[in-house]
Amino acid sequence: MIELRDVRKAFGKNNVLRGVDVKVARGESLVIIGGSGTGKSVMLKCVLGLVRPDSGTILLDGKDIRLAKGDEYLARFGMLFQNAALFDSLNVWQNVAFRLLRGPSKRPKRKAREIALEKLRRVGLGPETADLYPSELSGGMRKRVGLARAIATEPEIIFFDEPTTGLDPIMAGVINDLIREIVKEMGATAITITHDMASVRAIADMVAMLHAGVIKWIGPVREMDTAPDPFLRQFIEGNAEGPIKALR
């Protein structure tokens, strides 16, 4: 469904992506792991069109995304940002229903609120949170609202950017389970980027390890623990020594 072929991107002299090749099938959940600054977020932003690759091709359903119409293309995606990226000036339900209140998916206000409340319920938030503002929410609640916004229009593809960062382990587990359940029940294709190995095991069908701008290893999650790749081993075991050089 989504395919990246030899995608390269540099910011000045910093070559972030040095030829990424990866494929995600429809309905599959791919988790991309890798250290900070290895280009995971840039890769997602390239697919969304937020960053234009210097070279290479990105295909969605076999079609080059450069030929796609912006609004129709983006309408197929939902995204949960690292810090949820909720709009401070709007309350919770208006954040969730953002796409339902404007543009091609526009519905009457009452209907949009109904859908927002339903999505909030799906992520475990009651109607009493609907009129709160993002500044009044805890970290876990913000992630849930971000998740509700990402699924509000039931997109075919959902991206999760470090969904458990900044959460305690129990809340991280809750968010992981929610993501897994929602992706399954919607039949959506998911790409998640994370450092959190608990997230990987909870969310992934496939795992890809990105290091120094290239995919070092890709395979099913069940093969991850037995794979001999030294980069992958060092990352999942959290070793300071190994082929990935860490600053001390």
Partner 1 sequence: MKALASLFATVGRSTLAMCAAIGQVAIFCSITLSHVIRPPFYIREFLSALLTIGYFSLPVVGLTTLFTGGALALQIYSGGSRFNAEAVVPQIIAIGIVRELGPVLTGLMVAGRVSASIAAEVGTMKVTEQIDALVTLSVNPMKYLAVPRVLAATVALPMLAAVGNVIGIMGGYLVGVARLDFSAAVYLRNSWNFLEAADIYSGLVKAAVFGFIVALMGCYHGMSSDRGASGVGRATTNAVVSSSILILASNYLLTELFF
Q: Which residue stretches of the chain are H helix?
A: 40-48, 70-74, 92-96, 109-122, 139-151, 169-186, 197-203, 221-224, 230-237
- Nearest distance in Å: CB 165, partner 1: 13
Rule CB under 8 A: choose which of 79, 120, 188, 200 binds partner 1: 79
Q: Which residues ranging from 146 to 205 are in contact with partner 1 (CB under 8 A)?
A: 149
Residue keyed to tokens 């040095």: 18
The 10 Å CB-count burial string (b at 16+, else e) for 231-247 is bbbbbbeeeeeeebeee
Q: Applying CB under 8 A, does 82 fall inside the site for partner 1?
A: yes
Q: Which residues ranging from 20 to 49 are in contact with partner 1 (CB under 8 A)?
A: 45, 48-49
- The strand order across the sheet containing 206-211 reads 77-80, 157-161, 189-194, 29-33, 206-211, 214-220
Here's the x/- map for partner 1, 90-109, by CB under 8 A: it reads as: --------xx--xxx-----
Is 138 within 8 Å of 58 (Cβ atoms)? no
Is 173 within 8 Å of 206 (Cβ atoms)? no
- Nearest distance in Å: CB 187, partner 1: 20
Here's the x/- map for partner 1, 47-66, by CB under 8 A: it reads as: -xxx----------------
Rule CB under 8 A: choose which of 1, 10, 65, 75 binds partner 1: 75
Q: Applying CB under 8 A, does 85 fall inside the site for partner 1?
A: yes
Q: Applying CB under 8 A, does 9 fall inside the site for partner 1?
A: no
Q: Applying CB under 8 A, does 141 fall inside the site for partner 1?
A: no
Q: Which residue from 128, 124, 117, 130 is spatially nearest to 143, judged by alpha carbons?
A: 124
Q: Which residues bind partner 1 (CB under 8 A)?
A: 45, 48-50, 70-71, 74-75, 77-79, 81-83, 85-88, 98-99, 102-104, 149
